[in-house]
């Protein structure tokens, strides 16, 4: 039954709903508890908290965006129950009181049950109470999501543990993306959730609706800087459990493509150490190197030159020489990227015409580097550089592993590994 089929016991314009919404807006937890535990009857009453049925008011002024979608002729209502409200706000005593009065733990007039709400809020005590009162650990929401799919925050780890203790399925796919709980943990960078699921037997390389494994999903999710550590631990965990480092999604993109799309050099190095193909091409013909070059100017804080270095030191083909001016144009504001890439060629014919593709602001900001670049317009590279290229050609894909073993001073090893210096010689 859809939520439009329910007749709310407390419609939106009722006095109780007005007072309840006021208490919720004011975050007055005591008043919310008092209203749902003492004034709402019956115990499983359906409460209407919102209603955007514009058809009920022909004079309503509709926004232009809505006018474009009138063909749906649908509206949405937010329906809920006292138990769902209590669980969503973590009111454990209130949940216990309502269950004691016979509230149905699986009632879901709004499309989600109380267990879904508890998991969304990370309220472990509420989740355990509901499960003890026989809430279905695999109850599907209107969107096809089980409670485990809604364990999306660090605070929800206890909820996930409780669900698994009560028999929740780790292999169930949910929602439009057909994600498993492990996919959800991977997308959110929840390394402890992933560890829990893997220890309980989750399949590490199950594919979702886009053909992604959990590793692919983790590498593709955008991260805040403070989340990078958790994401790296999560990916290392997945790889230790046998995740395929080169698994391709429906667009033939590998986890390495996605890590490079965020210029995540630590993640790229991790994948490369586990055998990821540095030269893999997606359906659009883009390599991981192309992906990091495309994003370099927008990822200055990520030090994209480190990712370029890692790829080239693990055997990535470099850019076709005729395409170098395009790289120069795209990455002009990140001269370290230009330097690392330029030094991967034994000799690249520098043209004065390249100056036209470099924005004047970038040229002036990084003038010493660009002056050193154009000084090579009619000059062969130095012998030291040519020796570097000979060694790199000899070691091929094993540069990263073998060059540190050479009996060379550390600065010279770094030079052979394309460490940028700020100018070209």
For the chain, the structural domain boundaries read 1-53+77-164+179-202
Q: How far apart are CA 95 and CA 127, in angstroms?
A: 10
Q: How far apart are CA 307 and CA 85, in angstroms?
A: 47
Binned at pLDDT 50, 70 and 90, residue 227 comes out as: confident
pLDDT at 70 over 50: no
pLDDT at 231 over 50: yes
Mean pLDDT of the chain: 91
Are 99 and 130 in contact, with CB atoms under 8 Å apart? yes
Q: How far apart are CA 214 and CA 179, in angstroms?
A: 9
Are 141 and 110 in contact, with CB atoms under 8 Å apart? no
Q: How far apart are CA 336 and CA 339, in angstroms?
A: 5
pLDDT at 27 over 50: yes
Which residues in 81-108 are b (16+ Cβ under 10 Å) and which e?
Answer: bbbbbbbbbbbbebbbbbbeeebbbebb
pLDDT at 67 over 70: no
Binned at pLDDT 50, 70 and 90, residue 59 comes out as: very low
- Enter the tokens of residue 394: 């000899």
- Enter the tokens of residue 220: 């593709």
- Enter the tokens of residue 198: 């893997």
Q: How far apart are CA 123 and CA 115, in angstroms?
A: 9
What does the pLDDT read at residue 50? 83
- Taking residues 379-396, report their average pLDDT: 95
- Taking residues 250-260, report their average pLDDT: 96
Coil, strand, or helix at residue 30?
helix
Exposed / middle / buried, residue 19 (Cβ in 10 Å: 0-12, 13-18, 19+): middle
pLDDT digits (tens, 9 = 90+) for 210-220: 999 999 999 99
Nearest to 146 by CA among 185, 107, 173, 110: 173
| Share of residues in the chain with pLDDT > 90 (%) | 85
Are 307 and 271 in contact, with CB atoms under 8 Å apart? no
Coil, strand, or helix at residue 32?
helix
What 272-281 contacts at long range (C-beta under 8 Å, 24+ apart), as own/partner pairs, is 272/310, 272/311, 272/314, 272/400, 274/239, 274/245, 275/245, 275/246, 276/245, 276/246, 277/246, 278/311, 278/314, 278/315, 278/316, 278/397, 279/315, 279/316, 279/317, 280/246, 280/248, 280/254, 280/256, 281/252
Q: Is the peptide bond before 128 cis (omega within 30 degrees of 0)?
A: no
pLDDT digits (tens, 9 = 90+) for 127-141: 999 999 999 999 999
The residues, ordered by sequence, that sit 6+ positions from 23 with a Cβ below 8 Å of its Cβ are 31, 32, 35
What does the pLDDT read at residue 230? 87
- Taking residues 8-28, report their average pLDDT: 91
pLDDT at 228 over 90: no
pLDDT digits (tens, 9 = 90+) for 77-128: 789 999 999 999 999 999 999 999 999 999 999 899 999 999 999 999 999 9
What does the pLDDT read at residue 57? 44
pLDDT digits (tens, 9 = 90+) for 268-310: 999 999 999 999 999 999 999 999 999 999 999 999 999 999 9
Are 314 and 403 in contact, with CB atoms under 8 Å apart? no
pLDDT digits (tens, 9 = 90+) for 327-383: 999 999 999 999 999 999 999 999 999 999 999 999 999 999 999 999 999 899 999
pLDDT at 4 over 70: no
Are 267 and 259 in contact, with CB atoms under 8 Å apart? yes
Which CATH superfamily does the domain covering 1-53+77-164+179-202 fall into? Answer: Ankyrin repeat-containing domain (1.25.40.20)
Choice among 19-33, 57-71, 251-265, 345-359 with the minimum mean pLDDT: 57-71
End-to-end CA separation in angstroms for the chain: 73
Binned at pLDDT 50, 70 and 90, residue 5 comes out as: low
């Amino acid at each position: 039954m859809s939520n439009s089929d329910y007749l709310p016991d407390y419609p939106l314009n009722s006095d109780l709903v007005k007072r309840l919404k006021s208490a919720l807006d004011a975050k007055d937890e005591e008043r919310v508890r008092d209203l749902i535990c003492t004034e709402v009857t019956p115990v499983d009453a359906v409460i209407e908290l919102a209603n955007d049925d514009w058809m009920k008011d022909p004079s309503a002024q509709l926004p232009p965006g809505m006018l474009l979608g009138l063909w749906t002729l649908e509206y949405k209502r937010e329906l809920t129950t006292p138990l769902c409200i209590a669980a969503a706000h973590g009111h454990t005593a209130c949940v216990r009181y309502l269950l004691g009065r016979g509230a149905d733990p699986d009632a879901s007039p709004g499309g989600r049950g109380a267990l879904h709400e508890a998991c969304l809020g990370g309220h472990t005590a509420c989740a355990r109470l509901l499960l003890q009162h026989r809430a279905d650990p695999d109850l599907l929401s209107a969107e096809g999501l089980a409670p485990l799919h809604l364990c999306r925050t660090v605070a929800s780890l206890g909820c996930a543990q409780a669900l698994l203790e009560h028999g929740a399925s780790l292999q169930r796919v949910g929602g439009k993306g057909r994600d498993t709980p492990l996919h959800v943990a991977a997308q959110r960078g929840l390394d402890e959730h992933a560890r829990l699921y893997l220890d309980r037997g989750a399949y590490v390389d199950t594919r979702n609706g886009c053909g992604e494994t959990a590793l692919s999903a983790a590498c593709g999710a955008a991260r805040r800087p403070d989340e990078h550590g958790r994401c790296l631990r999560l990916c290392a965990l997945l790889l230790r459990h046998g995740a395929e480092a080169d698994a391709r999604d429906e667009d033939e993109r590998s986890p390495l493509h996605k890590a490079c799309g965020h210029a995540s050099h630590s993640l790229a190095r991790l994948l490369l150490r586990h055998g990821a193909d540095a030269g893999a091409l997606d359906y659009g013909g883009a390599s991981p190197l192309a992906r990091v070059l495309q994003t370099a100017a927008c990822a200055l804080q990520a030090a994209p030159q480190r990712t370029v270095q890692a790829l080239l030191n693990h055997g990535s083909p470099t850019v076709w020489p005729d395409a170098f001016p395009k790289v120069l144009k795209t990455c002009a504001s990140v001269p370290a990227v230009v330097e690392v890439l330029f030094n991967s060629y034994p000799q690249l014919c520098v043209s004065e015409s390249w100056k036209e593709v470099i924005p004047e602001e970038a040229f002036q900001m990084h003038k010493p580097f660009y002056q050193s670049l154009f000084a090579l317009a009619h000059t062969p590279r130095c012998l030291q550089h040519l020796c570097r290229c000979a060694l790199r050609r000899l070691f091929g894909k094993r540069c990263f592993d073998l060059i540190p073993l050479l009996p060379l001073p550390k600065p010279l090893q770094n030079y052979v590994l394309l460490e940028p210096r700020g100018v070209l010689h």
